Amino acid sequence: KAGVTQTPRYLIKTRGQQVTLSCSPISGHRSVSWYQQTPGQGLQFLFEYFSETQRNKGNFPGRFSGRQFSNSRSEMNVSTLELGDSALYLCASSYIAGGSTDTQYFGPGTRLTVL
Amino acid sequence: TQLLEQSPQFLSIQEGENLTVYCNSSSVFSSLQWYRQEPGEGPVLLVTVVTGGEVKKLKRLTFQFGDARKDSSLHITAAQPGDTGLYLCAGPPGYSSASKIIFGSGTRLSIRP
């Protein structure tokens, strides 16, 4: 089974621009979660989608948004980029959603640099 | 706010030595997970502990969940260079948090050959 794939792997943007990141979950997985990882704040939960509906959202501004398509693929969008948005953005998929012991499978991440 | 504090932040030891990494909180967690993340990759789940006092073994790795479910430890016996990576503990926060899961700050482990 193919793992979680994320595209692009690396991205450089300038302040004020917007960016869209893509995540393809493992086949059969219906839950997709997004995380931001930075050296200062560590790994922080952004949001989770299940069956095209956002189920949970972390404490991030409205500039961060996402969506999930009927094939479970997900995209996240960050508008009006700030320098502090530079981070590794990780996507994780799981078979079901909401369980505290669900096994999440992470993709390799998209490294976003904002100049 | 529920926090997971990991210690030490960095650890560099010689191959063959033993080590313990700690994950502590002032709050009770219904379960805790341990992940290992290697450079250029996403975290990989190692284990989930759900019962206070639970001990799980994964080859040379031993995971323990505290009796009060506020802390956990990871013990590695006879460390090998392949154990190098960032170790993260994580758990579901309480009802007051919108976040699905919170992660500790991580322990960066380096095993020298």
Which pLDDT score is estimated for A101?
63
Query: What single-letter DSSP state applies at residue B2?
Result: -
Asked whether the predicted pLDDT for residue A106 surpasses 60, the reply is yes
Asked whether the predicted pLDDT for residue B9 surpasses 90, the reply is yes
B101: which chain A residues are within 8 Å (Cβ-Cβ)? 33, 45, 100
Q: From the CA of B16, how many Å to the nearest CA of chain A?
A: 29
Which pLDDT score is estimated for A3?
93
Asked whether the predicted pLDDT for residue A95 surpasses 90, the reply is no
Segment A25-48, tens digit of pLDDT? 999 999 999 999 999 899 999 999
Neighbours of A17 (CB within 10 A): 13
| 3-state SS, one letter per residue, for A37-83 | EECCCEEEEEEEEECCEEEEECCCCCCEEEEECCCCCEEEEECCCCH
State whether B31 and A48 contact (CB < 8 Å).
Answer: no
Please check whether residue B42 touches A, CB under 8 A. Answer: yes
Asked whether the predicted pLDDT for residue B96 surpasses 60, the reply is no
Share of chain A above pLDDT 90, in %: 82
Which pLDDT score is estimated for A102?
74
Asked whether the predicted pLDDT for residue A58 surpasses 70, the reply is yes
Phi-psi label, residue B81: left if phi above 0, alpha if psi -120 to 50, beta otherwise: alpha
- What is the average per-residue pLDDT within A8-27? 97
At residue A56 the predicted structure's pLDDT band, cuts being 50, 70 and 90, is confident
Segment B44-87, tens digit of pLDDT? 999 999 999 999 999 999 999 999 999 999 999 999 999 999 99
Burial letters for A54-92: b for 16+ Cβ neighbours within 10 Å, e otherwise? Answer: eebbbebeeebbbebeeebbbbbebeebeeebbbbbbbb
A48: which chain B residues are within 8 Å (Cβ-Cβ)? 100
Q: From the CA of A105, how many Å to the nearest CA of chain B?
A: 7
